[in-house]
Amino acid sequence: MKRIHTDGACRGNPGPGGWAWAEGKDRYASGAEAHTTNQRMEVRAAIEALRSSPDGPVEIVSDSSYVVKCFNDKWYVGWRRRGWKNSQGQPVANRDLWEELFALALESDREVNFTWVKGHSGDPMNDFVDSLATLAADTQRGSHS
């Protein structure tokens, strides 16, 4: 199973943001958006990671509880059942990105798992994608290997 680390960053919330994914330190990409939120960048990072690796099983490793819990706690089941309303009856934030991510993670024939890692705790790959996402947010330019 491929293991891909992801992260999102935002300078201000909302503000200029960046996302990144890395499958080891030799295969990675990042990108930027001028006006976004941290949560949107976290979801975008997972989308781009899955797009980068369209075949075979994938483990997405993220420090975003928002992303990981959506899948592991199956938030999406309730969202869909309630017509894209959250448990408080409000519209689900970032629905456009969630629908894109669900198509890649839930509606394909491959296995996709989500694992949470504590951010800023010395995990080398989490620190690496954090630095890529932060640089993208700061410079508004992406990079790739």
Residues 56-91: tens digit of each pLDDT: 999 999 999 999 999 999 999 999 999 999 999 999
CATH number at residue 117: 3.30.420.10
Asked if residue 145 belongs to a domain, the reply is no
Domain boundaries, position 9: 2-139
For residue 140, the model assigns a pLDDT of 97
Distance CA 17, CA 136 (A): 7
Asked if residue 83 belongs to a domain, the reply is yes
Asked if residue 85 belongs to a domain, the reply is yes
- What's the structural domain count of the chain? 1
Instruction: Answer yes or no: are the C-beta atoms of 57 and 110 closer than 8 Å.
Output: yes
- The distance of Cα 103 from the centroid of its chain, to the nearest Å, equals 14
Nearest Cα residue to 113 out of 42, 53, 60: 60
- For 89-118, the pLDDT digits (tens) are 999 999 999 999 999 999 988 999 999 999
Instruction: Answer yes or no: are the C-beta atoms of 37 and 17 closer than 8 Å.
Output: yes
